[in-house]
Amino acid sequence: MALSPQQRATLYRTIWRWHFYAGLFVIPFVLLLAATGAAYLFKPQVERWEERAYRTPVVERVVLPSAQVAAALAAFPGARFTSYRLPERPGDAAMVHIAMADGQAMRDVFVSPAGTVMGSLDPETRIMETLKTIHGQLLLGKRGSWLVELAASWAMVLTLSGLYLWWPRDRRLAGVLWPRLRAGKRLFWRDLHAVTGFWIAGLVLVLLVTGLPWAGLWGSAFKAARTELGWVKGPQDWTIGGEAPGGGDDLHAGHDHQVMLRHGTYHPAAAAPAGLDGIVLKAQAEALAFPVVVTPPGAPGRFGRPGAAVWTVRSDAQNRPLRTTISFDPATRRETGRETFADGHVVDRIVGYGVAWHEGQLFGWVNQLIGVLTALGLMLMAASGFILWRRRKPADALGAPPPAPVPARMGGAVAILLILAALLPLLAISLIALWLFERLVLPHLPGLARWLGVPAHAPT
């Protein structure tokens, strides 16, 4: 049954209030996550810049990989070898990943083709690793991951409610598809906010959905559901809440070096294991997508069982569909197994495409450009929304839109909200908490209720 004009106005005002409260909570997270996410899109370029000093313009001689490993270990007495990353281009240093003698830290050691140690980096403090930690955990660990997930859940409510508020109710295109630049400041900021939101809403929803498998609570529930339904084929290739899936005991995903140091499940070699040179030759012949990492028998990796007695050559390309992992027998150096992206379960492949899109690596610079424009649009919306709020905010109140004089008929809106709550556990928990706060706490704090613009309820 169609709503009357008065009912539509009441519904509009109610959804506007939801949009307002959600926006005030989400804006700080949007600004931070959009900025860090936009920067992370350029991880390959930033890491190439970060490693700029570890290149030689002229290659006069080339030593074997085992000699490069020996040089790295000699530069850090007591350190042990864990993996070898092939150079991306001729003249680039190889990266030897080592466990430090104290057993508490790792190092990425860069060794020139001639066998000279050119420098080292702490993998935990590299630029992109720091950005990733801020983006996923706000530098707060698991609690930060929950906050990011909560903000993402409310960002979906914000986006959908914004689309409803924007939805054109007449045939005018100005203020709908483009902003009215000469209609005064109030309409300019309103149009800038609404029109930008329309153009990027779809991209924002895709970003939010593709980020959910990484989220702490949602990702754990998703993993449990996949396991229960039999949608698992091989180890999971993405982290959950910044940790390896399985509460940090899964050695296949995330920061393998953190897991091995924590649990002591892998004992790195004090020297380059026999056979490294031959395996590196085989890895070079495969022409896999960079970065290509060679790990010795017993080392943990993203695929295969922990401690498997095989050499592993894997591509860790951010564009997940390009990833391949090959196993070699340590005695004969014959290939014993090969896993490609296409070999994974269909659910893993869907998530893999989403992760590659989210990180801006699915189809090169175009994906990065779309990601940057989406991030800039999000920051523009956050800034314009804040300005709109400050321009209308009274001195003695939060400035929430006034409540409707009569309750709105919220059938469809409530149904959408309930579906979202069923799919987003932190959204459901926060809705229950807000309802309890409004019913049990605010009646005893009438001053706070007036400031928030929430209708007062009699104390229960």
Residue 229, in any domain of the structure: yes
Query: Is 179 in contact with 188 (CB distance < 8 Å)?
Result: yes
Residue 289, in any domain of the structure: no
pLDDT, residue 171, reads 65
- Tokens 């005002």, residue? 13
Residue 270, in any domain of the structure: no
All residues at 6 or more sequence positions from 423 whose CB lies less than 8 Å from its CB, including other chains? none
Query: Is 322 in contact with 341 (CB distance < 8 Å)?
Result: yes
Residues 146 and 111 placed together within one structural domain of the fold: no
Residues 31 and 155 placed together within one structural domain of the fold: yes
Residues 366 and 458 placed together within one structural domain of the fold: yes
pLDDT, residue 305, reads 44
Residues 150 and 230 placed together within one structural domain of the fold: yes
Residues 12 and 66 placed together within one structural domain of the fold: no
Residue 272, in any domain of the structure: no
Residues 61 and 34 placed together within one structural domain of the fold: no
Q: From residue 156, give the alpha-carbon distance in Å to each of 159, 338, 416, 454.
A: 5, 39, 11, 23
Residue 281, in any domain of the structure: no
240: β partners: 243
pLDDT, residue 309, reads 85
Q: ∠ CA 141-142-146 to the nearest 5 degrees?
A: 120
Residue 172: exposure state from Cβ atoms within 10 A (0-12, 13-18, ≥19): exposed
The CATH number given to whatever domain includes residue 82 is 3.10.450.40
pLDDT, residue 273, reads 82
Sheet containing strand 80-85, edge to edge, reads 117-121, 106-111, 94-99, 80-85, 292-295, 311-315, 324-328, 335-340
Closest CA to 304 of 346, 335, 272, 269: 335
pLDDT, residue 456, reads 65
Rounded to 5 degrees, φ, ψ at 55 are -135, 150
Residues 71 and 112 placed together within one structural domain of the fold: yes
Residues 1 and 80 placed together within one structural domain of the fold: no
Residues 100 and 219 placed together within one structural domain of the fold: no
Q: From residue 189, give the alpha-carbon distance in Å to each of 86, 204, 356, 375, 384.
A: 51, 20, 34, 18, 6
Residue 133, in any domain of the structure: no
Residue 344, in any domain of the structure: no
Residues 80 and 8 placed together within one structural domain of the fold: no
The tens place of each residue's pLDDT in the chain, 460 residues long, gives: 567 777 778 888 889 999 999 999 999 999 999 999 999 999 999 999 999 999 988 888 899 999 999 999 999 999 999 999 999 999 999 999 999 998 889 999 999 999 999 999 999 999 999 999 999 999 999 999 999 999 999 999 999 999 999 888 776 778 788 888 877 888 899 999 999 999 999 999 999 999 999 998 999 999 999 888 888 887 788 888 877 765 443 433 334 445 555 444 566 777 778 899 999 999 999 999 999 999 999 876 543 345 568 999 999 999 999 999 999 999 899 999 999 999 999 999 999 999 999 999 999 999 999 999 999 999 999 999 999 999 989 999 999 988 877 666 777 788 889 999 999 999 999 999 999 998 999 999 999 999 998 876 655 4
- Tokens 């009357």, residue? 4
Residue 236, in any domain of the structure: yes
Where a domain ends, among 65, 90, 123?
123
User: Total domain count for the chain?
Assistant: 2
Rounded to whole angstroms, how far apart are CA atoms 348 and 231?
Answer: 8
Determine the structural domain holding residue 110 and report its residue range: 57-123
Read off the amino acid at residue 296: P
Residues 153 and 28 placed together within one structural domain of the fold: yes
Rounded to whole angstroms, how far apart are CA atoms 318 and 450?
Answer: 50
Other C-beta atoms lying within 10 Å of the C-beta of residue 231: 14
Rounded to whole angstroms, how far apart are CA atoms 368 and 356?
Answer: 11
To the question of pTM greater than 0.85 for the whole model, the response is yes
Residues 116 and 182 placed together within one structural domain of the fold: no
